[in-house]
């Protein structure tokens, strides 16, 4: 005990301070690099899966349950693209593919000034992709194989054999998948330690992209619904259409209230940079 007391007395009461020391931000750029790599590596994993499904449709591989339920020998080859997203499994795979492409475009075309602050955005994008993959693997697997030997499939619903099926679902699903991009941009702006205005222009551009995709998909869906007598028209409040209408209205409000570079508002907003 006597030997410990002198050691305690030698401990300085106050650590030396240096005003020139710069404290690094909590979000290190290495984290951003890791999450960026994870997000970019997901795209090459998704493209082969889509090509495999297309090859199974083209070869009439009815041992695949998804192909069996949405394809048949008497179906026109031009409907192969439609049959790909005619079911829940293919639609989810298509949304994941679009999400991965848009995530890569966001990371590639982002302003260099905010790339060091994209760690939170990359983390959210990666989490969304992992969630889609989790659902595809455990709940909606399009690669599930049947134990029975089928000589023909069921084919897609006759109501879906319509020209609108080539345009409406891809646009609507692409618009829904693109909504995640403005969301992660806004989250990145909230967690950015610099609190500058470089996020607003990027947010407005991607909001316009999502708004355009959803609007075009909704318009074509409305036209399609009125050409199919059994659907009762678009304003019968079809749930699928409302899934696209609600975020389109939110994006409309966002674009109306967000500052535009043309108005010169960004230069007058406070910035700590």
pLDDT tens, 118-153? 777 888 888 898 899 899 888 988 888 888 888 888
Q: How confident is the model at residue 273 (pLDDT cuts 50, 70, 90)?
A: very low
- Whole-number mean pLDDT of the chain? 75
pLDDT at 211 over 70: yes
Please check the confidence at residue 48 and state whether its pLDDT lies above 80: no
Structure confidence by residue, pLDDT tens digits, 152-207: 888 888 878 888 889 999 999 999 999 999 999 888 878 776 666 677 888 889 99
Q: 3-state class of 3 per DSSP? A: coil
Contacts with 187 (C-beta within 8 Å, 6 or more apart), sequence order: 120, 121, 124
Long-range contacts of 224-230 (CB under 8 A, 24+ apart): 224/162, 224/164, 224/165, 224/168, 227/162, 227/164, 228/159, 228/162, 230/159
266: left (phi over 0), alpha (psi -120 to 50) or beta: alpha
User: Mean pLDDT over residues 216-239, rounded?
Assistant: 73
What the block records as the tokens of 109 is 């075309």
What number is the average pLDDT over the span 57-77?
Answer: 86
What b/e sequence results for 2-30 when a residue is b if at least 16 CB atoms lie within 10 Å of its CB, and e otherwise?
eeeeeeeeeeeeeeeeeeeeeeeeebeee
Query: 64 forms bridges with which residues in the sheet?
Result: 145
How far apart, in whole angstroms, are the C-alpha atoms of residue 155 and residue 93? Answer: 19
CA 92 – CA 142 distance, rounded (Å)? 9
Rounded distance, CA 250 to CA 200, Å?
17
Q: Which residues pair with 145 in a beta bridge?
A: 64
pLDDT at 60: 83
**Is a pLDDT exceeding 70 seen at residue 223?**
yes
Mean pLDDT, rounded, for 11-22: 41
DSSP state of 15: -
Whether residue 240 is predicted with pLDDT greater than 60 in this model: the reply is yes
In whole angstroms, give the CA distance from residue 273 to residue 265.
Answer: 17
Residue 210, both tokens: 């999502």
pLDDT over threshold 90, residue 235? no
Give 44: exposed, middle or buried? Use CB within 10 Å, 0-12, 13-18, 19+: exposed
The confidence score (pLDDT) of residue 229 equals: 54
At 236 the pLDDT is 61
């Amino acid at each position: 005990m006597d030997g410990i007391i002198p050691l305690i007395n030698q401990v300085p009461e106050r650590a030396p301070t240096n005003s020139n020391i710069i404290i690094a931000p909590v979000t290190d750029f290495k984290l951003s690099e890791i999450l960026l790599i994870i997000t970019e590596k997901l795209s090459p994993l998704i493209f082969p899966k889509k090509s495999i499904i297309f090859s199974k449709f083209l070869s009439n591989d009815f041992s695949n349950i998804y192909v069996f339920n949405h394809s048949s020998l008497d179906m026109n080859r031009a409907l192969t693209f439609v049959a790909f997203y005619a079911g829940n499994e293919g639609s989810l795979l298509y949304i994941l593919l679009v999400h991965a492409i848009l995530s890569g475009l966001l990371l590639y075309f982002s302003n260099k000034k905010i790339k060091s602050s994209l760690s939170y955005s990359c983390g959210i994008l990666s989490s969304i992709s992992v969630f889609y993959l989790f659902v595809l693997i455990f709940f909606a697997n399009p690669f599930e194989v049947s134990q029975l030997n089928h000589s023909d499939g069921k084919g897609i619903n006759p109501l879906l054999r319509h020209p609108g099926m080539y345009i409406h679902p891809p646009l609507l699903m692409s618009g829904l998948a693109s909504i995640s991009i403005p969301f992660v941009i806004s989250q990145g702006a909230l967690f950015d330690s610099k609190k500058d205005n470089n996020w607003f222009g990027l947010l407005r551009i991607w909001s316009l992209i999502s708004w355009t995709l959803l609007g075009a998909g909704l318009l074509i869906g409305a036209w399609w619904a009125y050409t199919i007598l059994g659907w009762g028209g678009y304003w019968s409040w079809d749930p699928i259409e409302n899934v696209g209408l609600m975020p389109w209205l939110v994006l409309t409000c966002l674009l109306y209230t967000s500052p535009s570079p043309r108005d010169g508002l960004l230069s007058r907003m406070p910035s700590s940079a």
